[in-house]
Amino acid sequence: MSVKPVRQPGPDHPITIEANPATVSVTAAGTRIAETRRALTLREAGHAPVHYVPLEDVAEGVLERSAHTSYCPYKGDATYYSIPAAGEAGENAVWEYRRPYPAVAEIEGHVAFYRDRVQVSERRG
């Protein structure tokens, strides 16, 4: 069994997490997936910002847990969900770090969405 590398964010690979003051809405195939005023925005070196939405703000019954997994040395093991209403585009379109590493512990209980598979909008005010 190989040991997974664990890395800490720092000057060479910064990661910041902040509360998003906007209302964040997520839709797929015309179905509202989530809407929240409690999203977190994670910014990571070399990547576009990602909104993490509290899982409890996701509409009930729209996600289906998938067998797909991935690993990030900065965040930990990710599990995935599919959005059946979105068809093929919805497969593994949502991920969650159920036990994120301490440096990103704030995203626990939140899910993120691939922006090329869903529509994410922000409404201020």
One digit per residue, the tens of pLDDT, for the chain of length 125 reads: 678 999 999 999 999 999 999 999 999 999 999 999 999 999 999 999 999 999 999 999 999 999 999 999 999 999 999 999 999 999 999 999 999 999 999 999 999 999 999 999 999 97
Question: By residue range, what is the domain housing residue 22?
Answer: 15-123
pTM of the model: 0.94
What burial letters (b/e) apply to 53-80, b meaning 16+ CB within 10 Å? bbbebbeeebbeebeeeeebebbbebbb
Q: Domain total for the chain?
A: 1
DSSP string, 14-77: -EEEEE--SEEEEEETTEEEEEES--EEEEETTS--EEEEEGGGBPTTS-EEEEEEEEETTTEE
Domain-located, residue 89: yes
CATH code of the domain covering residue 97: 2.170.150.40
Nearest Cα to 78, choosing from 115, 36, 108?
A: 108
Q: What is the pLDDT of residue 1?
A: 65
Q: What is the pLDDT of residue 59?
A: 98
Nearest Cα to 54, choosing from 97, 113, 108, 16?
A: 108
Q: What is the pLDDT of residue 2?
A: 77
For 85, the 3-state DSSP assignment is helix
Domain-located, residue 25: yes
Domain-located, residue 40: yes
CA 61 to CA 71: how far, in whole Å?
26
Length of the chain: 125
Domain-located, residue 116: yes
CA 103 to CA 7: how far, in whole Å?
9
Q: What is the pLDDT of residue 125?
A: 74
Domain-located, residue 103: yes
Domain-located, residue 7: no
Domain-located, residue 117: yes
Other residues' Cβ atoms within 10 Å of the Cβ of residue 25: 17
